[in-house]
Structure 1
Amino acid sequence: MISYIKGNRKAIMLWSWSVERVKTASLELHDFERFAGLRNKLRAMQELQRRVMFGDKEFLDISKDKALADLAKLLGLKNIPVRIEGYDISHMSGRQVVASMVVFTNGASDRAEYRKFKVSDKNDDTGNMYEVIFRRLGERNIKSWGRPDLLLIDGGKGQLAAAIKARDERGITVPIISIAKREEELLVHKIGSQITAFIKQIQSQPRADIAIHEDGDIYVVNLHPSQRNAGSHSKNLRASIEQNRKERPVTGESSLATTDIVKLFQRIRDESHRFAVSYHTALKRQHQTKNQLEEIPGIGPKTRAKLLRKFGSVKKIIEADYAELQAEVGSKKANLIKHSS
């Protein structure tokens, strides 16, 4: 049902309009019982439309249309960012280095478009981010995956600078911003991010719900001024939601729902982090299992290749019965494998 509704927002709006018309007719006919039923259905549908955001099992209290429109206004984008891509790097001291690319289309997670990258093993987050964005914006991937409207980097000034450098070397025009981990603030490069218009306006006309300060060539944008010093991943973004509900623009300020923008960024950043960590964990487990077989004395490359052809994976080799192993490599090597597992 939710998937149907997500793809048929116009149908919802038409349905809501129809209910309004029938509701009016019911009042005119003094059919108050029918009016009450229609009113309740209408409210339920309107609430569902407002809450549908990311997927069948992911309900967040957010209006994605409002969030995207306000995001475009905040960043001074010419158009609403239809395709937003989030990036994160995951590794363990420079080993099994991977990167995630998550995609949000029209404000909703688009998991069919997610991509993952194996990156050169080095303990260098800025270098790794450069490599990922450079590969992503290559001509072949642009043609296959399309052109993003906004890149969201999980990281600080170094990762943002690396992503901007990679983009510029590819000759692509696309806005790039990042989220700093400690305070969960947006980092916008004054020139490289390609977005400054509305930020400059906010600086000249301060607001209660947005705080901006400059750090060299970076604008630091805080959409939750009352929340500081996050102690864990996304703490400030999450904690700011209820507080921002109570904050209202001062007289003369234009309406800008920072709460919805915060939720959207929080979701993209958390999803890119989750996807990167899950891929890193899978590679780490695969590597550990592979080493388990390679480290058995007396089991050489030819034997491993023979066993892999038969069983399909190292895990299945380790889990195989003694009789199955003996039939393939003899009792001596079968004993070595079983005693080591």
Structure 2
Amino acid sequence: MADTVPYRPKTGDIPTNPGVYRFQDSNGRVLYVGKAKNLRARLTSYFAPLNTLHERTRRMVTSADKVEWTIVLTEFEALQLEFTWIKEFDPPFNIQFKDDKSYPYLAITLGERIPRVMVTRTKKIPHARYFGPYTKTWAIRETLDLLLPVFPVRTCSEGVYKKAERAKRPCLLGDIGRCAAPCAGRITPEEHRSLALDFANFMTGKNSDYIKELRDKMERASKEQDYESAAKFRDNIVALETVASKSAVVLSDEVDADIFGIAQDELSAAVQMFIVREGRIRGVHSWNVDTELDVNADELIDNMLRTAYETELVPPRSIYVPKIPEDAEAITSWLTNIRHERTENSRQTSVKLKQAQRGDIAALASTVSFNAQQSLVLYKTKRRNDYVSRTKALGDIQRALGLKDSPLRIECFDISHLGGTKIVASMVVFEDGLPKKSDYRKFSIAQARDDTDAMNQVLARRAAYLVQSKEEATSRSSFSYPPGLFLVDGAGPQAKAAALALEEAGITGIPVAGLAKRLEELWLPDDKFPIILPRNSEALFLLQQLRDEAHRFAITFQRSTRKRDISTVLTEVPGMGPAKVKSVLKSFGSVSQLRKATVEEIASTPHISLALAQAIKDHLSK
């Protein structure tokens, strides 16, 4: 493998100015777009020796054929150009957040001559104002039922409206007071647009002004003995207050903020966004992404904010993020410009990025982060449980390893120990891409030189069971059924140790592979170079699920073993060093025998005082 790629530019040719760069392949497709304060410092990091690069970065660099850059004057201009190019070229290695599902929105089509209110799952209507997302469509319908008598904006389709306009007669909604009927000329288009804007303003959280205005009108009508109008105003107040009460009050009335939470692992990330207006949660939004390159938190936050605000959403004055990125100044300038473009009378207000430190906002931020973690778990679970994805994953594993058949049953092994002692191992089983927990097994290993020796011992015991079952010609239980693939946690040495154990037992025809955690590489026992699966492939995702489950199962077993171990128990007692632990072990041999002993019997052990014996007895009785 070459030290670097052939298209690497000379270091002296790369400027030190701020700018934006893009990697392209031989067909001219843009693979990745990035920005930098110092182009030379950033780009030279991509052209380090290939074996030192993260696997995902290495794959992008080796897939590219050239790199180009554009110099700008400021970091703010670099941010703007980066976002523009990402939107234009849709580079496969850039973070592209996607909704975890299709949410319904309440939209007001202000771009139409006669605006209308509608429920939609698309956000591509020109010049429309969107509210939500809502978790259920019925929640939007319920809101409309309450608001349309107060703000009677049309909800009919364009065809229905034109038909009523030609007939000069409104539909049923106009007759029952749920539409102002501009089609029949009851109000002018300008008056109807004013109604639509009032509806939009109310939905943005400006509730108190409308309710106060209606109260004043109700009181005036009551004083003038116009009780019919007063009753109508009263009903409208009740409707508006009901809608307002359906949003949870979490902060004081003057708080307008968007609060973000992020959960991330090596392959995926989930973002949760709470939209808070006048202290109430007005909307919740979430996205998921499979990260292609090894991205840092700053880049993740930049792209998260781009996804949230690049369309129609107006940034509030305060945006809370898990971490303040290094380019915060450029980001806030970009957000402030968007706020000025989309909001009237906002020239005096700027957007600020903040990190919640204490109080109610910090508590809410913690809730948002927790929701992001749950969203990531659900996203990965949904992806794992999807039949099409599982089938594709098994097929990709078959092709990558050159297997004759798809590995419908995969057994994965992991070793766990405590500083080389208390060695245990786990075996987890996935059938058809799903865990089969009834077939999980635990192994205790008395002694091993290292992890490879421990892996060899475990596979030898597993192989012996397969050989025994075959020789006895018994009906196959689930444990005696041979898998389509043995997967071990580790690289080439662990895979080779496992293969050697099978060979010594006379087991043939069952492939072995190791999954190395550092670069997520798949190793075969006799290969000098690993198999690199695409970073966002279903195959790698499934293998990682196996490896992580085996690790979890081994750690759980190891911890439960330590709890039963006398030496571990004794080291938790203050004043018990290695010599005293050894002395007690020699005298009693087990925790159960030590629990039966009296304080005086424990104190008779060499190096154990009466006070220490009492401390041991108290600790064991907890």
CA distance in 2, matches of 1:276, 1:98: 7
Tell me, yes or no, if the aligned pair for 2:400 and 2:531 is still in contact at 8 Å.
no
Tell me, yes or no, if the aligned pair for 2:599 and 2:614 is still in contact at 8 Å.
no
Task: Name the larger-Rg structure.
Answer: 2
- CA drift of 1:139 comes to 3.7
2:522 equivalent in structure 1: 186
Deviations along 1:55-90, whole A, 9 cap, x unmatched?
9x9433542122112222322222221210001111
**For the structure 1 residues 273 and 338, does the alpha-carbon distance in structure 2 shift closer, same or farther, using more than 3 Å as the test?**
same
2:499 equivalent in structure 1: 164
What letter matches 1:289 in structure 2?
A: V
What letter matches 2:505 in structure 1?
A: R
What letter matches 1:339 in structure 2?
A: A
CA distance in 2, matches of 1:299, 1:168: 40
1:260 equivalent in structure 2: 538
1:45 equivalent in structure 2: none
What letter matches 2:615 in structure 1?
A: H
Deviations along 1:265-320, whole A, 9 cap, x unmatched?
11001111111122122222322126769949899857x88x948xxxx7xx4xxx
2:382 equivalent in structure 1: 59
What letter matches 1:260 in structure 2?
A: E
Tell me, yes or no, if the aligned pair for 1:82 and 1:105 is still in contact at 8 Å.
yes
**For the structure 1 residues 329 and 178, does the alpha-carbon distance in structure 2 shift closer, same or farther, using more than 3 Å as the test?**
closer
Residue of structure 2 aligned with 1:94, choices 400, 405, 420: 420
CA distance in 2, matches of 1:118, 1:264: 27
How is 1:39-118 mapped onto 2 (pairs within 5 angstroms)? 58-60=381-383, 62=386, 63-118=389-444
CA distance in 1, matches of 2:464, 2:570: 32
1:127 equivalent in structure 2: 453
CA distance in 1, matches of 2:584, 2:422: 27
CA distance in 2, matches of 1:330, 1:183: 54
Tell me, yes or no, if the aligned pair for 1:136 and 1:142 is still in contact at 8 Å.
no
2:489 equivalent in structure 1: 154
- CA drift of 1:332 comes to 4.0
CA distance in 1, matches of 2:586, 2:529: 57
CA distance in 2, matches of 1:134, 1:298: 35
Is the partner of 1:126 in helix, strand or coil?
A: helix
CA distance in 2, matches of 1:109, 1:117: 19
Q: How many residues are matched? A: 212
1:221 equivalent in structure 2: 531
Structure possessing the higher relative contact order (Cα contacts under 8 Å, 6 or more residues apart): 1
Deviations along 1:169-197, whole A, 9 cap, x unmatched?
1111210011123211111245xxxxxxx
Tell me, yes or no, if the aligned pair for 1:189 and 1:219 is still in contact at 8 Å.
no
1:339 equivalent in structure 2: 615
**For the structure 1 residues 298 and 148, does the alpha-carbon distance in structure 2 shift closer, same or farther, using more than 3 Å as the test?**
closer
Tell me, yes or no, if the aligned pair for 2:563 and 2:569 is still in contact at 8 Å.
yes
Q: Structure 2, unaligned stretches of length 5 or more? A: 1-136, 138-376, 470-476, 604-609
**For the structure 1 residues 300 and 101, does the alpha-carbon distance in structure 2 shift closer, same or farther, using more than 3 Å as the test?**
closer
Q: RMSD of aligned C-alpha atoms? A: 3.4
Is the partner of 1:220 in helix, strand or coil?
A: coil
| TM-score calculated relative to the size of structure 2 | 0.31
Tell me, yes or no, if the aligned pair for 1:83 and 1:149 is still in contact at 8 Å.
yes
**For the structure 1 residues 297 and 139, does the alpha-carbon distance in structure 2 shift closer, same or farther, using more than 3 Å as the test?**
closer
1:289 aligns with 2:615: no
**For the structure 1 residues 85 and 300, does the alpha-carbon distance in structure 2 shift closer, same or farther, using more than 3 Å as the test?**
closer
- CA drift of 1:153 comes to 1.0
CA distance in 2, matches of 1:102, 1:135: 15
Tell me, yes or no, if the aligned pair for 1:137 and 1:172 is still in contact at 8 Å.
yes
CA distance in 1, matches of 2:586, 2:486: 46
Tell me, yes or no, if the aligned pair for 2:490 and 2:517 is still in contact at 8 Å.
yes
Q: Percent identity?
A: 33
2:264 equivalent in structure 1: none
What letter matches 2:426 in structure 1?
A: S
- CA drift of 1:167 comes to 0.7
CA distance in 2, matches of 1:65, 1:282: 35
**For the structure 1 residues 100 and 300, does the alpha-carbon distance in structure 2 shift closer, same or farther, using more than 3 Å as the test?**
closer
1:228 equivalent in structure 2: none
Is the partner of 1:163 in helix, strand or coil?
A: helix
**For the structure 1 residues 334 and 284, does the alpha-carbon distance in structure 2 shift closer, same or farther, using more than 3 Å as the test?**
closer
Residue of structure 2 aligned with 1:273, choices 551, 562, 574: 551
Deviations along 1:144-185, whole A, 9 cap, x unmatched?
512121001111111111111111011112100111232111
**For the structure 1 residues 142 and 181, does the alpha-carbon distance in structure 2 shift closer, same or farther, using more than 3 Å as the test?**
farther
**For the structure 1 residues 169 and 270, does the alpha-carbon distance in structure 2 shift closer, same or farther, using more than 3 Å as the test?**
same
What letter matches 1:92 in structure 2?
A: L
**Higher relative helix content:** 1
CA distance in 2, matches of 1:76, 1:166: 21
Deviations along 1:236-257, whole A, 9 cap, x unmatched?
xxxx33xxxxxxxxxxxxxxxx
CA distance in 2, matches of 1:91, 1:106: 30
Q: Structure 1, unaligned stretches of length 5 or more? A: 1-39, 41-53, 191-216, 225-239, 242-258, 318-327
Tell me, yes or no, if the aligned pair for 2:424 and 2:443 is still in contact at 8 Å.
yes
What letter matches 2:382 in structure 1?
A: F
**For the structure 1 residues 83 and 139, does the alpha-carbon distance in structure 2 shift closer, same or farther, using more than 3 Å as the test?**
same
- CA drift of 1:132 comes to 0.8
- CA drift of 1:92 comes to 2.2
Deviations along 1:212-248, whole A, 9 cap, x unmatched?
xxxxx43411113xxxxxxxxxxxxxxx33xxxxxxx
Is the partner of 1:84 in helix, strand or coil?
A: strand
**For the structure 1 residues 188 and 297, does the alpha-carbon distance in structure 2 shift closer, same or farther, using more than 3 Å as the test?**
closer
Is the partner of 1:79 in helix, strand or coil?
A: coil
2:607 equivalent in structure 1: none
CA distance in 1, matches of 2:443, 2:399: 32
Is the partner of 2:382 in helix, strand or coil?
A: coil
**For the structure 1 residues 141 and 268, does the alpha-carbon distance in structure 2 shift closer, same or farther, using more than 3 Å as the test?**
farther
Deviations along 1:23-47, whole A, 9 cap, x unmatched?
xxxxxxxxxxxxxxxxx9xxxxxxx
| TM-score calculated relative to the size of structure 1 | 0.53
Point out the more displaced range, 144-153 or 97-106: 144-153
**For the structure 1 residues 330 and 289, does the alpha-carbon distance in structure 2 shift closer, same or farther, using more than 3 Å as the test?**
closer
